[in-house]
């Protein structure tokens, strides 16, 4: 019986690896359609996809010229209203950064030739 359990476990792991590979391929294809490349992230996939869609929609609505302030504001507002304060967004074609962020609240990606850094920080009540 032990051999059968080991075989079931092996098959289960194999099927799980196939499912994960398919999901990864689907995410990659979705990113390629939107012309997105994730540079670094610890953000859940659902939140990442929301950021990608918001960025893509904003860029498509102003095709003439990049308005980095407008894109940064749109992403910040979207995430502040959907996931609470305090989200920060930096957008540009060239910038350096070093930030501290809340766990699960960091995404650095490129879309077209634009780089986007979106991150959340903890909000501490002020002592009076």
Sequence ranges of the domains in the chain: 1-34, 37-128
What's the predicted TM-score (pTM) here? 0.74
**Residue 27's pLDDT band (cuts 50, 70, 90):** low
pLDDT of residue 53: 94
Contact 70, 58 (CB under 8 A): yes
**Residue 24's pLDDT band (cuts 50, 70, 90):** low
pLDDT tens-digit map of 72-92: 999 999 999 999 999 999 999
Q: Which residue has the higher pLDDT, 7 or 59?
A: 59
| Average pLDDT taken over every residue of the chain | 87
Place of tokens 């792991």: 13
Q: Which CATH class is domain 37-128?
A: alpha beta
Contact 93, 59 (CB under 8 A): no
3-state helix vs strand vs coil in the chain, percent to 5: 50, 20, 30
Distance from the Cα of residue 22 to its chain's centroid = 19
Measured CA to CA, the distance from residue 5 to residue 109 in angstroms comes to 43
């Amino acid at each position: 019986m032990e051999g059968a359990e080991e075989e079931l476990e092996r098959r289960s792991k194999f099927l799980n690896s196939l499912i994960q590979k398919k999901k990864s391929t689907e995410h990659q294809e979705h990113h390629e359609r939107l012309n997105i490349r994730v540079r670094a992230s610890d953000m859940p996939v659902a939140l990442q996809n929301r950021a990608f869609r918001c960025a893509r929609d904003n860029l498509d609505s102003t095709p003439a010229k990049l308005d980095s302030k407008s894109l940064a504001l749109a992403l910040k507002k979207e995430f502040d209203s959907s996931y609470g304060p305090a989200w920060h967004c930096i957008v540009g074609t060239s910038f350096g950064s070093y930030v501290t962020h809340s766990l699960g609240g960091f995404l650095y990606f490129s879309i077209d030739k634009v780089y986007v850094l979106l991150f959340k920080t903890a909000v501490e009540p002020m002592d009076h």
